[in-house]
């Protein structure tokens, strides 16, 4: 792969990280070196990249990139390593894996992978998944740090994940409720912020419901309603109370297309439990004035079409699935489902372009017929329970005593909850292997670190985030830096050392060609070009005449893939689980850490973890350009700061029973009293006393999940004091 000497070639590509978008990058290469990165400047709506994607040259050529395989020489976590050859590193990994399999069984090998590469067809966590399956099996993990509550709710309520609209449908809405939804910083599908700006120009009424006055609220909203974290469900249920008692809901839609509304109505009115869920009831829980709750309910009921937009944040709480179930119920009560300008308030996957199953799972599905017995039958562990599983093993009720972790596409010490316990857990293992580009908090606990390349150094295909009308060929624009290799090439080299002959049967080009051929038959009716044409063009846009919206064909028989064929406000699927903490109708349940919780006296502030403009989770944290963009701080309201003698810019200690973090304070009225916020993704840097000096919010979070499996990163109590 080369360009004529002295000439500059522009390559179309995209970002593969889990940021909420799939934006276009135009990479300028001269003499085999990336000179600059621009973005889409063609016809509107442009697929424009944010500063993170446009700063990728800084990551590609970063001084802290891992240059060679590394072998640990000091204690885990110290970051003391020596460079070794690929041969020595792979021999060491194979020797330990074969020994652990022989002594402890395949189930003792835990594979921890997440979203370092997301939406890519080839270079994802599934390459190592395939290797470990061919090795005889492993213990996988499951769950999402982002949207499991929404995913679960959509399946239970609508019977599908395709319960969203494409962003261009924002232009059809008269009212937009941004409920814990901040696309100006988290993207939430490429172009979303652009469409919100156009919608505001057209006169749409945009309201933000959020503990923080976010950048999205500042840019787009007419009104900001601050709400206590984790109490959103109570407010939605109180809004339903107003709609029911004032006969504002769409009775015809509810009677035709929903199941279980009467049970929900009995709960809302208090018939079933003796508590009427009035706005006054919700006001004491949420901190939102009852008049504002009533006014918002009337506005949402009277304005059509209207969008209730959310994805992750309110659902990342102790009973987060209840928020998503309640939001979907209000969307049904207002008849804003299956219409342009409406929104089901479900999982945001839009029914357009490539279907979710297209392409990405092929490498894991394509297995030889002689797999070792039990290779696929390993009990998965939820990502919030990994540390408990490692530390307690069979004695804690898990399927094995785990002795090894193989980690790729993830920084779990930093990004999964309870970082101090994560460090303890990884330190207790016999052997840890990490594939990484830089020495992350997790890589510091590895025995062997294998350097992997970036998406600019390999070929791949990527789909839009949560569905879209285009696909991008990720072209290799430069050679791999230093001695880095792709995850797949590492697997190809490791496989024969493990006695696996079947792994290297296809090269990257063969895989991608087969992926694309399969994907061409797995669209929502759109035609895709052949592989060679797509590879040549780099970006393929699918023609469209109108926005793609979920449930457009409501007149069809049983339009919803649920047992009843209707929107299940009362979910028969959930009812069958018979779980007292997972009721079949949307229900308000007090979180284990909130203003009314037992620990609120000692730790009176609610902490929420937010996304940062300068990082993609923990990716890009060390990129200098982006560090200059936004300081890493804890937001605190002036009233809370004054009560603690804290001034803007002061160094403060944020702490609870799980740990302590030192960080700079930002005193601002952009966050409500009683609530503080920290951006997630800053790197964990514990000192000799165990106090984190890097500002890693996961030090403070409890490693557990909601009844349905949602990450609970917005259910946390802390105290803040100023440092001497």
pLDDT reading at 95 higher than 70: yes
- Are both 123 and 173 inside the same structural domain? no
What is the average pLDDT across 611-637? Answer: 90
In the chain, % of residues over pLDDT 90: 80
Q: For position 146, what pLDDT does the model report?
A: 85
Q: For position 659, what pLDDT does the model report?
A: 98
* Tens-place pLDDT, residues 101-130: 999 999 999 999 988 776 688 888 888 999
Spatial contact of 717 and 605, defined as CB atoms under 8 Å apart: yes
Three-state DSSP at 603 gives: coil
Q: Is the link from the previous residue into 443 a cis peptide, with omega within 30 of 0?
A: no
Residue 2 in any domain: the answer is no
H helix runs in 507-653, sequence order = 508-519, 531-537, 572-575, 624-627, 638-643
Phi-psi region of 556 (alpha: psi -120 to 50; beta: other; left: phi over 0): beta
pLDDT reading at 476 higher than 70: yes
- Domain at 286, CATH number: 3.40.228.10
Residue 422 in any domain: the answer is yes
How far is C-alpha 361 from the geometric centre of its chain's CA atoms?
19
pLDDT reading at 620 higher than 90: no
Phi, psi of 306, deg, nearest 5: -140, 150
Interatomic CA distance for residues 694 and 413, integer angstroms: 13
- Are both 202 and 312 inside the same structural domain? yes
Interatomic CA distance for residues 34 and 4, integer angstroms: 14
User: Residue 163 corresponds to which tokens in the numbers above?
Assistant: 């319960």
pLDDT reading at 550 higher than 80: yes
Residue 89 in any domain: the answer is yes
pLDDT reading at 63 higher than 90: yes
How far is C-alpha 200 from the geometric centre of its chain's CA atoms?
27
Query: Regarding predicted confidence, which is higher, 22 or 683?
Result: 683
- Are both 331 and 364 inside the same structural domain? no
- Are both 155 and 131 inside the same structural domain? no
| pLDDT-derived band at 334, boundaries 50, 70, 90 | very high
pLDDT reading at 5 higher than 70: no
Q: For position 370, what pLDDT does the model report?
A: 63
Query: Residue 668: is it exposed, middle or buried by C-beta count within 10 angstroms (0-12/13-18/19+)?
Result: middle
Spatial contact of 633 and 665, defined as CB atoms under 8 Å apart: yes
**Domain span holding position 414:** 70-143+358-455+479-524
Q: For position 379, what pLDDT does the model report?
A: 86
pLDDT reading at 71 higher than 90: yes
| pLDDT-derived band at 346, boundaries 50, 70, 90 | very high
Q: For position 466, what pLDDT does the model report?
A: 81
Q: For position 43, what pLDDT does the model report?
A: 82
Phi, psi of 54, deg, nearest 5: -75, -10
Q: For position 396, what pLDDT does the model report?
A: 97
Q: Which of 322, 346, 370 is the last residue of a domain?
A: 346
Residue 589 in any domain: the answer is no
Quote the pTM value: 0.95
- Are both 176 and 117 inside the same structural domain? no
* Tens-place pLDDT, residues 366-412: 666 566 666 666 689 999 999 999 999 999 999 999 999 999 999 99
What is the average pLDDT across 650-658? Answer: 98
What is the average pLDDT across 225-248? Answer: 99
Nearest Cα residue to 715 out of 701, 703, 695, 698: 701
- Domain at 128, CATH number: 3.40.50.740
Q: For position 363, what pLDDT does the model report?
A: 66
Query: Regarding predicted confidence, which is higher, 21 or 78?
Result: 78
- Are both 311 and 228 inside the same structural domain? yes
Q: For position 374, what pLDDT does the model report?
A: 67
Q: For position 178, what pLDDT does the model report?
A: 98
pLDDT reading at 1 higher than 60: no
Torsion sign across C-alpha atoms 404, 408, 413, 418: negative
Residue 61 in any domain: the answer is no
- Are both 519 and 611 inside the same structural domain? no
- Are both 690 and 709 inside the same structural domain? yes
* Tens-place pLDDT, residues 493-539: 999 999 998 887 789 999 999 999 999 999 998 999 999 999 999 99
Spatial contact of 667 and 646, defined as CB atoms under 8 Å apart: yes
| Cα Rg of the chain, angstroms | 25
Phi, psi of 211, deg, nearest 5: -65, -25
What is the average pLDDT across 628-637? Answer: 94
- Are both 176 and 287 inside the same structural domain? yes
- For the chain, how many structural domains are there in total? 3
Q: Is the link from the previous residue into 45 a cis peptide, with omega within 30 of 0?
A: yes
| pLDDT-derived band at 364, boundaries 50, 70, 90 | low
Query: Residue 232: is it exposed, middle or buried by C-beta count within 10 angstroms (0-12/13-18/19+)?
Result: buried
């Amino acid at each position: 792969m080369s360009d004529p000497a002295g000439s500059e070639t522009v390559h179309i590509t995209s970002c593969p990280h889990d940021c909420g978008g799939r934006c276009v990058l135009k990479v300028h290469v001269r003499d085999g070196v990336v000179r600059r990165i621009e973005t889409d400047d063609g016809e509107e709506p442009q697929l424009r990249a944010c500063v993170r994607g446009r700063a990728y040259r800084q990551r590609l050529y970063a001084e802290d990139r891992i240059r060679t395989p590394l072998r640990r020489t000091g204690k885990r976590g110290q970051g003391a390593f020596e460079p070794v050859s690929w041969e020595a590193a792979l021999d060491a990994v194979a020797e330990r894996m074969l020994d652990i399999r022989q002594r402890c069984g395949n189930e003792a090998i835990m594979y921890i992978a997440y979203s370092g590469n997301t939406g890519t067809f080839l270079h994802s966590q599934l390459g190592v998944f395939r290797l470990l399956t061919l090795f005889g099996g492993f213990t996988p993990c499951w769950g999402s740090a982002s949207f499991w509550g929404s995913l679960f709710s959509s399946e239970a309520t609508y019977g599908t994940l395709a319960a969203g609209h494409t962003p261009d449908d924002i232009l059809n809405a008269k009212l937009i409720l941004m409920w814990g939804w901040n696309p100006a910083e988290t993207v939430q599908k490429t172009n979303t912020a652009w469409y919100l700006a156009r919608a505001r120009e057209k006169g749409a009424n945009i309201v933000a419901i959020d503990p923080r006055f976010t950048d999205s609220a500042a840019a787009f909203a007419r009104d900001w309603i601050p709400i206590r974290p984790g109490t959103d469900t109570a407010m939605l249920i109180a809004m339903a109370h107003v709609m029911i008692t004032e006969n504002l809901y769409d009775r015809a839609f509810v009677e035709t297309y929903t199941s279980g509304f009467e049970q929900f109505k009995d709960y809302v009115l208090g018939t079933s439990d003796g508590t009427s869920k009035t706005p006054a009831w919700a006001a004491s829980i949420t901190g939102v004035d009852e008049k504002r709750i009533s006014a918002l309910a009337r506005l949402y009921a009277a304005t059509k079409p209207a969008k209730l937009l959310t994805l992750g944040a309110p659902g990342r709480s102790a009973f987060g699935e209840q928020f998503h179930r309640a939001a979907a119920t209000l969307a049904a009560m207002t008849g804003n489902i299956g219409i342009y300008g409406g929104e089901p308030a479900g999982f945001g996957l839009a029914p357009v372009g490539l279907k979710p199953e297209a392409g990405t799972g092929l490498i894991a599905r394509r297995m030889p017929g002689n797999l070792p017995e039990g290779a696929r039958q390993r009990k998965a562990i939820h990502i919030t329970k990994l540390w408990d599983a490692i530390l307690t093993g069979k004695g804690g009720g898990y399927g094995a005593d785990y002795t090894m972790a193989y980690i790729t596409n993830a920084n779990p010490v930093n990004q999964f909850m309870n970082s101090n316990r994560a460090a303890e857990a990884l330190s207790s293992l016999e052997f840890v292997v990490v594939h990484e580009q830089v020495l992350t908090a997790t890589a510091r606990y590895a025995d062997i670190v294998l350097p992997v390349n970036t998406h600019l150094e390999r070929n791949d295909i990527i789909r839009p985030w949560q569905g879209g009308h285009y696909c991008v060929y990720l072209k290799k624009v430069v050679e791999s830096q230093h001695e880095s290799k792709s995850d797949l090439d590492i697997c190809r080299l490791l496989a024969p050392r493990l006695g696996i002959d079947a792994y290297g049967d296809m090269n990257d080009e063969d895989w991608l060609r087969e992926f694309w051929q399969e994907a061409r038959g797995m669209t929502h009716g759109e035609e895709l070009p052949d592989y060679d044409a797509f590879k040549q063009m780099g970006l393929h846009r699918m023609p469209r005449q109108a926005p793609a919206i979920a449930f457009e064909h409501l007149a069809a028989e049983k339009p919803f893939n649920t047992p009843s064929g209707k929107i299940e406000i009362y979910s028969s699927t959930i009812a069958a689980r018979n779980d007292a903490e997972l009721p079949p109708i949307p229900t308000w349940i007090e979180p284990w850490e909130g203003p009314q919780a037992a620990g609120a006296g000692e730790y009176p502030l609610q902490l929420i973890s937010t996304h940062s403009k300068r990082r993609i989770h923990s990716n890009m944290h060390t990129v200098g350009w982006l560090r200059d963009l936004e300081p890493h701080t804890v937001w605190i309201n002036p009233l809370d700061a004054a009560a603690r003698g804290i001034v803007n810019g002061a160094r403060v200690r944020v702490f609870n029973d799980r740990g302590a973090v030192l960080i700079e304070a930002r005193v601002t009225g952009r966050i409500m009293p009683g609530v503080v916020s920290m951006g997630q993704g800053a790197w964990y840097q514990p000192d000799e006393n165990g106090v984190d000096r890097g500002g890693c919010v996961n030090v403070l979070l409890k490693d557990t999940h909601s009844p349905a499996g949602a990450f609970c990163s917005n259910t946390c109590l802390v105290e803040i004091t100023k440092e001497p």
